Amino acid sequence: MIKFKKKKSAILERNRPISYMMVGPWALMFIVFGVVPVIAGIFLSFTSYDMLNTPKFVGIDNFIRLLIDDDIFTIALKNTLIMAIVTGPLGYLLNFVFAWGINESPKKVRNLLTFLFYAPSLGGSLVFIFQLIFSGDSYGLLNGFLLEYGLIDSPIQWLTDKDYCFTIVIVVSLWLSCGTGFLTFLAGLQSLNREYSEAGAIDGIRNRWQELFYITLPQMRPQLLYGAVGTISGSFGAGSLNAALTGNPSTDYCTHTISLHLGDCAFTKLEMGYAGAITIVLFAMMLTYWFFVNKALQRWSTD
């Protein structure tokens, strides 16, 4: 990272109206569509509101109902936590391994590999092909393959059988996980200071694994943090892929997530207050998670 020193010069005046004018348009939109929704969500969570009558204050009833009475929320919570604690970090790790592997590969194939890994996440419309690959009849690619080699006797309903569907969703989301985080890792690796690794080699770094742990990773903290932000936002917001692959609601809600539950409560049942409470819980979970991730990354790689 290049850091410019902040110079206190006479020409670089402080607090000029022009600065605020330039930030203004974006900041205004951000307040309306980014800040107000959060505040409105907090307010809504203490009310009962069906979009027709005026919101009625109900205290913490929504939260009590959410934690005690709502069995579907419990499933959604469990799935979201699996997405956040298993799928998210696993995807993050794979992103880094792939980026590192590309950086270790000969220059000729780097662009091709980058393209291959990044392309699936660019095409949101690829969900359709995953439905063909995991199709429940024998024309599905996976079933066809397994039947052909005698590994199974009859086709498996990958997307509707509750024993399999969540696993398939996880696999597909890993397939689609190489997005901006992956590009950031790759770019970070390519702009590392080569002198460090050369100095390291002289000082006794014997192989690429030692170089990775003692030289490369400690320099990568900014990119690792940026990637973590994206991973958190992706895994806690997960839902649309689940719905596209396994339907909404899925069999016995087996791939249901908090984000999908939120949509159901708000737009199907018109319980805006209750949905607001779900929003707040989701928010609190993300913040807690970020707190620990940030702590962990900071302790582990100090610069």
Q: Are 56 and 277 in contact (CB under 8 A)?
A: no
Distance of closest approach, residue 49 Cβ to another protein, in angstroms: 9
CB of 252 to another protein, least distance (A): 22
Q: Which is nearer to another protein, 78 or 155 (CB)?
A: 155
Bridge partners, 47 (sequence order): 57
CB of 225 to another protein, least distance (A): 4
Q: Which is nearer to another protein, 82 or 142 (CB)?
A: 142
Name which of 63 and 226 has its Cβ closer to another protein.
226
Residues present in the chain in total: 303
> What sign for the dihedral angle of Cα 216, 217, 222, 224?
positive
Taking the complex as a whole, the smallest distance from the CB of residue 111 to another protein amounts, in Å, to: 6
When the beta carbons of 29 and 163 are compared against another protein, the nearer one is 29
By C-beta, is 51 or 163 nearer to another protein?
Answer: 51
Residue 59 Cβ vs another protein, minimum distance, rounded to whole Å:
19
Residue number with CB closer to another protein (79 or 230)? 230
**For the residues of 39-92, what is the DSSP string, one character each?**
HHHHHHTTEE--SSSPPEE-TTHHHHIIIII-HHHHHHHHHHHHIIIIIHHHHH
The two beta strands, 47-48 and 56-57, are antiparallel
Which of residues 4 and 68 has its CB atom nearest to another protein in the complex?
Answer: 4
Q: How far is the CB of 85 from another protein (least distance, A)?
A: 16
Handedness of CA 63, 67, 68, 74 (dihedral sign): positive
CB 300 to another protein: min, Å: 15
CB 156 within 8 A of CB 136: yes
Nearer to another protein (CB atom), residue 163 or residue 243: 243
CB of 33 to another protein, least distance (A): 4
- CA-closest candidate to residue 258, choices 38, 80, 81: 80
C-alpha to C-alpha distance for 134 and 236, rounded to whole angstroms: 24
CA distances from 273 to 54, 153, 236, 276 (A): 11, 49, 20, 5
The span from the CA of 21 to the CA of 19, in Å, is 5
**CB atoms near residue 163 (< 10 Å):** 11
